[in-house]
């Protein structure tokens, strides 16, 4: 069996309760221990407090667990050598019975297989700066193009080329919705300066968009950009300077492919003396709050006929 759904998640799905998927790369590759475990458990708590059932997804010994328990999340936070798993890695990790941390792309795939439609994360992968030369475009974007899961994130950070990321999403038909904002959020800061076509006034409106997309059978994801709160936001110029230095360092060290995002995240945490980590944690909590409200609203209306 490649996929195991925890009893709690199974019951929730059976009883038509709203379920929110969560990824595990953020735990194993996105944040240091012990903050990674603490954050993952707090995110689950926020989701529960808002009337939904959390399903953290990860792969243990070649088996995808939909709804990891506290002990499993703890192991993910501490274990070394967990493979970062995107779409292409899934069959290999299953066949070789490895441990795998699921990225946005892989989490979307597994959530969709389990029948979970809403997924909360921190930031998505995107078109990397200089992708014209490197071809480095996260497979998260391709997954958003084809897999029927709505992803709530705090936009994308400036390690990526944000305008090209938006262009790519447009080409592949992915609606990008600004939660109470008209510009794309920039992860550590609330405003990237890049305009979105659709500002959404509340969770209900977003739930309606999800419902319409599914009723029309327009396959693919929806991306919700939920800006970090003012109080947690980091100044754009300050963080962009650090990001650019980190990219230079990665280039000098010839770090490529799937190692680049974790490398940059760690560099940024070191260079900001944990300020970026604090912002990262705060924005995920905010996404968990908004994401579970969306999941709750969507669950109320999805089977109505109006
Ligand atoms: N951005 C973050 N933290 C993360 C990631 C992105 O702020 O942990 C992870 C997510 O799992 C995302 C993945 O799906 O990195 C993208 O990696 P790549 O660019 O190699 O596709
Ligand atoms: Mn990449």
What CATH number has the domain bearing residue 171? 3.40.1790.10
Residue with CA at minimum distance from ligand 1 atom 7: 123
Residue with CA at minimum distance from ligand 1 atom 3: 30
- Is a pLDDT exceeding 90 seen at residue 49? yes
Q: What is the mean pLDDT of the chain?
A: 97
Cα 286 to its chain centre, rounded Å, is: 13
The Cα–Cα gap between 154 and 225 comes to: 5
pLDDT (average), residues 180-199 = 97
Place of tokens 């405003």: 191
- Is a pLDDT exceeding 90 seen at residue 306? no
- Is a pLDDT exceeding 90 seen at residue 157? no
For residue 132, give both structure tokens: 């014209």
The Cα–Cα gap between 278 and 147 comes to: 31
- Is a pLDDT exceeding 90 seen at residue 238? yes
Among 23, 24, 25, say which to mutate for ligand 1: greatest number of ligand atoms within 8 Å of CB.
25
Closest CA to 115 of 7, 219, 210, 14: 14
Q: Name the percent of the chain lying above pLDDT 90.
A: 97
CA 257 to ligand 1: nearest atom: 20
Ligand 1, CB cutoff 6 Å, lining residues:
23, 25-26, 29-30, 86, 103-104, 122-125, 138-140, 258, 261, 265
Q: What one-character DSSP code corresponds to residue 24?
A: S
End-to-end CA distance of the chain: 39
Residues that are catalytic? 23, 157
pLDDT (average), residues 275-294 = 97
Contact present, 9 and 22 (Cβ < 8 Å):
no
Domain count, the chain: 1
pLDDT (average), residues 4-24 = 98
- Residue 254 has a CB neighbour count (10 Å cut-off) of 6
- Is a pLDDT exceeding 90 seen at residue 170? yes
- CA 199 to ligand 1 center in whole angstroms: 25
pLDDT of residue 8: 98
Q: Residue 139's domain spans which residues?
A: 3-305
- Report helix, strand or coil for 252: helix
């Amino acid at each position: 069996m490649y996929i195991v759904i925890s009893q709690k998640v199974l019951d929730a799905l059976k009883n038509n309760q709203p379920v929110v998927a969560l990824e595990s790369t953020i735990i194993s590759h996105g944040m240091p221990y012990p903050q990674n475990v603490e954050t993952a458990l707090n995110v689950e708590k926020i989701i529960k407090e808002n009337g939904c059932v959390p399903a953290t997804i990860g792969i243990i010994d070649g088996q995808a667990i939909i709804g990891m328990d506290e002990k499993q999340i703890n192991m993910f936070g501490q274990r070394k050598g967990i493979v970062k798993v995107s779409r292409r890695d899934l069959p290999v990790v299953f066949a070789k019975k490895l441990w795998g941390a699921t990225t946005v792309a892989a989490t979307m795939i597994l959530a969709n297989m389990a029948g979970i439609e809403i997924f909360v994360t921190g930031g998505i992968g995107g078109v990397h700066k200089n992708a014209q030369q490197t071809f480095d475009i996260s497979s998260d974007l391709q997954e958003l193009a084809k897999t029927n899961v709505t992803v709530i994130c705090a936009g994308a950070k400036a390690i990526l080329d944000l305008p090209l990321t938006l262009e790519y999403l447009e080409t592949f038909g992915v609606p990008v919705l600004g939660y109470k904002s008209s510009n794309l959020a920039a992860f550590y800061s609330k405003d990237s300066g890049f305009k979105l076509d659709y500002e959404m006034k509340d969770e209900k409106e977003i739930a309606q968009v999800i419902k319409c997309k599914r009723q029309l059978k327009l396959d693919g994801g929806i991306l919700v950009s939920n800006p970090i709160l003012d109080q947690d936001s980091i100044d754009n110029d300050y963080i962009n300077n650090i990001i650019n230095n980190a990219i230079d360092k990665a280039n000098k060290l010839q770090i490529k492919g799937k190692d680049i995002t974790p490398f940059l995240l760690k560099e940024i945490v070191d260079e900001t003396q944990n300020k970026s980590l604090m912002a990262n944690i705060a924005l995920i909590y905010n996404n968990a709050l908004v994401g579970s409200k969306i999941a709750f609203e969507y669950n109320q209306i999805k089977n109505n006929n109006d």
